[in-house]
A and B are shown apart, each in its own frame.
Chain A
């Protein structure tokens, strides 16, 4: 029995390489966990594609005979829609209640018993999930869209890596927002109220229902820089369709990075405050 019990000194100290290894292993597990639900992925893909056609026709109608609206031409609008339909699943803007469910049922106790901070652990899992969604949910709409619509192909080589970075930051920003909405369960138990507010707010303010360029200029600027919502969807899509000059694109991605850091710090703060008042009932 000696080989099962305490015979090896536990590792101490925070080393960067083992931390990344742990983070990578949790992310890989997140990828595998979500890859098990293939039928759900196919169902989601079909829904996204149908809505892709609907949104695309509506936005093209808005562009009208002039062929442009809010700084987008018809090809840019088509790319905005089809890339957006794929990105929706990558950022998992709606429907994520894992943390809230675990708080409500008390399963969150198991998360707290691991030697990894819950925010780190959930983030790594979410990045793994986003990795699977990138393959299963982002690529197909990008392939389907060009068969039916004239789409915009980026002109600058730097746009694609900047889009990928922006999409990664969008996942982190969206994760931060979702974590905070879920964490209200520590206080409320039932998160349906905050979740409805999040669903409505994120849909409107992130640029899902319509590109934020449709709004008056000052309002769009306030949303872009003073709220995290455009960093979730609008910014990576604007980077992809090169709506702004490269320098503005870089600034927007910088703002995204700022929101990502700020939100993760806020998640850790909220988590710490929540743990002080945590109640885990029923054994």
Chain B
């Protein structure tokens, strides 16, 4: 049995918009539009999409905060809304833009309170806290009230708070938002370690695609409330025609950009002394050999496909076009 199941999950909101000096009209906005998904135990799933795509709404429905308008959801075999209190014992949630810690209390007191709230045996709590203290380097600010913590410190506290009761599923909604590079690395490293253990399912929404590349083997892209891609990052590149690039630095510019079979020139830079080839059918060796016959090479570098570029293309696709992508059409 999958640890997360969604069948035709849908959420509509009613908004009132001004339609005249004294008149307001009700409009229905569909935030999530029939999402079907299965997530297996131990999986690390990246759940991405542009602003307003329905990512956070999906997470809120899966955690029992929001009631779906239609469809069915099960997490750990429980109905998120009807069984919310029981489900809370089995999941952990981190909302990057909200806090589950007590603002006025030191982090240490918040953790102690969570032990009672989740009724965790003292031994298990102490062991998990000790591990988190080590991995997330919490000791320097455990006795500081949460309201005085920096964003990076608070986020490390939030992660710990979400894990102290040993959840089976961890939902992370933009956990690296606003963090500096060092804090991001700490959070990513911690989550990667968590994923390696393999007994916690992790669902991650983020706008920082480096989080996804580092942590998730499976990527689900949602747009206009619909899933437009469900597969690995490599599959996403294949589907959208992402290519590796070869950047060749020449001693002397060629009079015309060379024509190499299977590797068209993408860009000509530095007055013709830098050529960027896209690898379509040709290999790196063939490009290098082709160029070596024409001119003297100073340097060669290979640029891997950029996930940001392909996701940008995906986000910019019209709603219908993007939706067709889930079936495999680029």
- By a beta-carbon cutoff of 8 Å, the part of chain A in contact with chain B is 1-8, 10-12, 18, 21-22, 24-26, 29, 32-34, 36-37, 106-107, 109-110, 112-117, 275-276, 278-280, 282-283
Contacts and interface: CB of A to CB of B under 8 A. Distances in A.
Contact of A109 (B65, B67, B112, B135): B65
A18 B65 CA distance: 25
A32 B316 CA distance: 51
Of the listed residues A8, A26, A36, A107, the one surrounded by the most CB atoms of chain B closer than 10 A to its CB is: A8
Contacts of B197: 1-2, 4-5
Contacts of A11: 89, 119
B65 A7 contact: no
7 contacts: A10-B89, A25-B112, A32-B109, A33-B102, A33-B105, A109-B65, A283-B98
Interface string B36-79: 00000000000000000000100010011111000000000000
Interface string B70-101: 00000000000100111011100101111110
Contacts of B116: 21-22, 24-26
A106 B65 CA distance: 11
A74 B104 CA distance: 43
Given A4-B194, A29-B105, A32-B109, A109 B166 contact: no
A29 B101 CA distance: 12
Interface string B149-186: 00000000000000101111000011000000000000
B145 A280 contact: no
A26 B167 CA distance: 21
Nearest to B201: A6
Contacts of B194: 1, 4-5
Interface residues of B, number: 55
A24 B130 CA distance: 25
Given A112-B65, A113-B100, A280-B60, A3 B95 contact: no
A115 B118 contact: yes
A137 B128 CA distance: 40
Nearest to B193: A1
A29 B146 CA distance: 14
B298 interface: no
A29 B119 contact: no
A276 B85 contact: no
Contact of A25 (B56, B117, B199): B117
B124 interface: yes
B63 A113 contact: yes
A109 B98 contact: yes
A278 B63 CA distance: 13
B318 interface: no
B242 interface: no
A18 B64 CA distance: 24
B32 interface: no
A275 B85 CA distance: 13
A107 to B, nearest CB: 5
Contact of B66 (A36, A115, A278): A278
Contacts, number: 128
A26 B102 CA distance: 11
B85 A117 contact: yes
A110 B100 contact: yes
B300 to A, nearest CB: 40
Contacts of A282: 97
Contacts of A4: 128, 131-132, 135, 163, 166, 194, 197
Contacts of B193: 1
Nearest to A107: B98
Nearest to A279: B13
Nearest to B195: A1
Contacts of B65: 109, 112-113, 278, 280
A278 B98 contact: no
Given A4-B132, A6-B168, A114-B88, A109 B119 contact: no
A280 B66 contact: yes
A235 B67 CA distance: 41
A283 B96 contact: yes
B103 to A, nearest CB: 8
A4 to B, nearest CB: 5
B196 interface: yes
Nearest to A125: B102
Nearest to A275: B67
A109 B88 CA distance: 12
B294 to A, nearest CB: 53
7 nearest A-B residue pairs (beta carbon): A25-B116, A1-B197, A115-B88, A10-B89, A33-B104, A110-B100, A3-B127
Interface in B234-274: none
A180 to B, nearest CB: 21
B293 interface: no
A39 to B, nearest CB: 14
B85 A116 contact: yes
A65 B98 CA distance: 61
A282 B51 CA distance: 9
Nearest to A25: B116
